[in-house]
Structure 1
């Protein structure tokens, strides 16, 4: 018996960064917020630096003060989108482990 929730165990059992990237993109944002410490530990242990950056960007965007239009500051939104694009490329297998995804 483990203390991890099944959805977190899926991340722990992910065989590579592409699978971790898909997990990050598909997991509900509430899980990312609620379990960010456990997720950070798993991503760190796997050496998935791009995943850590994506998680940090999502948490920052979800935690940011919003303007009158209901949106976070432009810089926060752009950081989140940049990180998301990178994770999408990795999740599709477009960038090898430890390689940076080319965005352009």
Structure 2
């Protein structure tokens, strides 16, 4: 028993960076918000620092101020777009970014 929620334990069970990247791209943003520290710990322990960068970018976006229309600002969109593209690359190619 790790004390982690089952969805985060799924991340612990990932064997490759590609599996971790896939998990990161699919996990609900609410889980990223709630379990940010635990997720970062798991990723650091696995040596997947690109995943830490990604989760930090998602966490920052979740907590960012939005425009009057309720949208993320352009700088946030660009950051998240680049971070997601990097994770997609890892997930597709099977290795670290």
TM-score grouping bracket, smaller chain normalisation: over 0.9
Q: How many residues are matched?
A: 97
**For the residues of structure 1 that align with 2:28 and 2:73, how far apart are their CA atoms?**
22
Which residue of structure 1 lines up, in the alignment, with residue 16 of structure 2? 16
TM-score by length of 2: 0.93
Larger relative contact order (Cα-Cα within 8 Å, sequence gap ≥ 6): 2
Q: Once superposed, which parts of structure 1, at least 4 consecutive aligned residues long, lie more than 3 Å away?
A: none
SS at match of 2:44: helix
- Gaps in structure 2 of 5+ consecutive residues: none
CA drift of 1:61 comes to: 0.9
RMSD: 1.2
* Matching of residues 72-91 of structure 1 within 5 Å: 72-91=72-91
TM-score by length of 1: 0.87
- Gaps in structure 1 of 5+ consecutive residues: none
